[in-house]
Amino acid sequence: MSSTGNLLITNLHQIVQIVDDGDTAFLAGKDMSSIKVLESKSNDLAILSTDGLIKFIGPKSNLPTDVIELPTLATIDACGGSVIPGLVDGHSHPVFAGDRVHEFAMKLAGATYMEVQAAGGGIHFTTTKTREATKAALVADFKKIATEMIKNGTTTLEAKSGYGLEWETELKMLEAIQEVADLHTIEVSATFCGAHAVPRGSTEAKQAEVIVSHMIPELVKLKSAGKLNSLENIDVFCEKNVFELESSKKILKAGKDAGLAVNFHADELSALGGAELGAEIGARAMSHLEEISEKGIAAMAKAGTVATLLPSTAFMLRLTPPPARAMIDAGVIIALGSDFNPNAYCLSMPTIMHLACVNFRMSMPEALVAATLNSAHSLGRGNTHGAITVGRVADLIVLTAANWEHIIYRLAAQCSVINTVVKAGNVVYQHS
């Protein structure tokens, strides 16, 4: 496989650009439905990447001849298939030890998410297992998960800590994320989530204080020493009886002052006003939002904060879906995430897009925009990732299907439509 970032893909029927310029960092409202798609009846479209960036898009006959001569140029014959941008997973918890299949059975029998957690399960169960695990074991597991994500078309991933809740394990998780970011082909935007739950034996106020006065300053020191380069975001599980508005605000503002982007769990199980808080403090993104209020929708639209919706969680916890249509109509920027974690064990972004279409009533173009350009924007990458335009990073998925919609349509069989996954112009997965 090529590792020069020089790649030529030919014989394409469709190129799904999403947008056709580098300036548009997101699409909102009606614009989410009008994505740019190039199509050729004679399948003569081509994409050229050099040094990992997109250099040319269009009919093969217009290709610059000097570049075709590049000795290191890898080639892919798409055989009349299509190409879409690499998928961007805007929310995941991919570093943990143990699983929670026993809790899935409890929830099927009627227990709610918070009942399981109050009984010592949920995040607390995973925290115990993750504290016991070695960093090497966490790295090995995350590498396997990242490889599966790549196979499913994810080329960029937001990845959270949050199963330590004390400094040593939170740091171990962030270091594990950093190792995978350094070694693996997947691109990672790491998030500190020490406020994922109130640790047993502590209180909301004490945990908020320890995060603000100890953990965030330590992270700042490590970052300035160049040790946690992938760390970009700060997160809180802002929820009734977890971290409520006051402590969430304290932690998120401290994270923001330390240079991290605010990207947090809001209004999932109760209408606490997390969306309003996020808009007020300039959050870059908020996730879940199943219980968002009308005021929250208006505030997010005005502030330009991204709503990262998580269809697999709403599906498997049987939550009322977030009001995606009302949010789109109000102009809120919608992104999608897998929320891969031991509670919602789904890492496939094509499946997430399918669920968003069926359960959140989004159209296929809206779901694709949300899983590419808008998710990239939620991670501060809206001008460089998430679309196929000259100068952007060449993150691409070559599909066997002539029409791109098959990546969403073929529920649970999407991997058979994915022929090749390309990260920064290098082939990182090929269907055999």
- Smallest separation, CB 342 to Zn ion (Å): 11
Residue closer to ligand NIG by CB (options 125, 404) is 125
Q: How far is the CB of 281 from ligand NIG (least distance, A)?
A: 20
Nearer to Zn ion, 236 or 297 (CB): 236
Helix (H), strand (E), coil (C) string for the chain: CCCCCCEEEEEEEEEEEECCCCCCCCCCHHHHHCCEEEECCCCCEEEEEECCEEEEEEEHHHCCHHHHCCCCCEEEEEEEEEEEECEEECCECCCCCCCCHHHHHHHHCCCCHHHHHHCCCCHHHHHHHHHHCCHHHHHHHHHHHHHHHHHCCEEEEEEECCCCCCHHHHHHHHHHHHHHHHHCCCEEEEEEEEECCCCCCCCHHHHHHHHHHHHHHHHHHHHHCCCCCCEEEEEEEECCCCECHHHHHHHHHHHHHCCCEEEEEECCCCCCCHHHHHHHHCCCEEEECCCCCHHHHHHHHHHCCEEEECHHHHHHCCCCCCCHHHHHHHCCEEEECCCECCCCCCCCHHHHHHHHHHHCCCCHHHHHHHHCHHHHHHCCCCCCCCCCCCCCECCEEEECCCCCCHHHHCCCCHHHCEEEEEECCEEEEECC
Q: Residue 342 Cβ, how far from ligand NIG at the closest point, in Å?
A: 5
Q: Which residues sit at the interface with ligand NIG, rule CB under 6 A? A: 93, 122-123, 126, 237, 265, 268, 313, 339, 341-344
Q: Which does 125 bind (CB under 5 to 8 A by kind): Zn ion, ligand NIG, none?
A: none
State how far the Cα of 241 lies from the Cα of 282, in Å rounded to an integer: 24
Convert 13-43 to b/e letters by CB count within 10 Å (16 or more is b).
bbbbbbbeeeebbbbbeeebeebeebebeeb
Q: Which is nearer to ligand NIG, 344 or 393 (CB)?
A: 344
- Look at residue 368 and give the partner it binds from Zn ion, ligand NIG, none, a contact being a CB closer than 5 to 8 Å depending on partner kind: none
Q: Report, in Å, the least distance between residue 243 CB and ligand NIG.
A: 11
Nearer to Zn ion, 35 or 289 (CB): 289
Rank residues 26 and 237 by Cβ distance to ligand NIG and give the closer one. 237
Give me the least distance between CB of 172 and ligand NIG, in Å please: 17
* Smallest distance from ligand NIG to CB 344, Å: 6
Minimal distance, residue 126 CB to Zn ion, in Å:
12
262 binds, among Zn ion, ligand NIG, none (CB under 5 to 8 A by kind): none
Binds 355: which of ligand NIG, Zn ion, none (CB < 5-8 Å by kind): none
Residue placing its CB nearer to ligand NIG in the complex, 122 or 365: 122
269 versus 424: smaller Cβ distance to Zn ion: 269
Q: Which does 122 bind (CB under 5 to 8 A by kind): Zn ion, ligand NIG, none?
A: ligand NIG
Q: How far is the CB of 77 from ligand NIG (least distance, A)?
A: 41
Identify what 123 binds: Zn ion, ligand NIG, none; CB under 5 to 8 Å per kind.
ligand NIG
Q: Cβ 10 to Zn ion, closest distance in Å? A: 40
**Are the C-beta atoms of 343 and 386 separated by less than 8 Å?**
no
Residue in the shown chain whose Cβ atom is closest to ligand NIG? 343
In whole angstroms, the minimum distance from the beta carbon of 386 to Zn ion comes to: 21
| Residue that is written with structure tokens 């304290």 in the block | 250
Of ligand NIG, Zn ion, none, which one does residue 126 interact with (CB within 5 to 8 Å by kind)? ligand NIG
Q: What residues pair up with 420 in beta bridges, in sequence order?
A: 398, 430
Q: Which does 342 bind (CB under 5 to 8 A by kind): Zn ion, ligand NIG, none?
A: ligand NIG
Nearer to Zn ion, 276 or 339 (CB): 339
Strands 231-238 and 396-399: unpaired
Which residues of this protein are in contact with Zn ion, per CB under 5 A? 339
Best CA proximity match to 235, nearest among 202, 298, 278 = 278
Tell me which of ligand NIG, Zn ion, none is bound by residue 337, counting a contact when its beta carbon lies within the kind-specific cut-off of 5 to 8 angstroms. none
Residue 343 binds: one of ligand NIG, Zn ion, none (C-beta under 5 to 8 A by kind): ligand NIG
Q: Which residue is nearest to Zn ion (CB)?
A: 339
